[in-house]
Amino acid sequence: MEMGDAKTKRKVHRIEVIRPDCISAATCVVIAPDVFELDSSGIAVVMADALNVDDNTLFMAAQSCPTQAILLYDEYGVQIFPPIK
């Protein structure tokens, strides 16, 4: 086991926006304004300090995306949202 308890161990270690899938709905920006912003083309981009935001907020933002354009990865680079079928 690593140091620190499981409660404080974060799950999300990388956030990706599939740009061609983003339809600029901006629900991600509303839910997580410290994580996502729209660039000059109106496409969501991940902000520099995004991983300072708690996992729950990241999951809520990813779940809010109507096109599932937001992908979340764990520390091993495994996609944890959307669930891989």
Binding stretches for ligand SF4 (CB under 6 A): 17, 22-28, 36, 44, 64-67, 69-70
DSSP structure string for 3-25: SS-GGG--S--EEEE-GGG----
| Residue closer to ligand SF4 (CB basis): 55 or 64 | 64
In the complex with ligand SF4, the residue whose CB is nearer, 23 or 78, is 23
User: Residue 54 in contact with residue 38, Cβ under 8 Å?
Assistant: no
- Joined together, the tokens standing for residue 63 give 């779940």
What does the radius of gyration of the chain's CA atoms come to, in whole angstroms? 13
Q: In the bound complex, what is the minimum distance in angstroms from residue 54's beta carbon to ligand SF4? A: 18
Cβ proximity to ligand SF4, 8 vs 40, nearer residue = 40
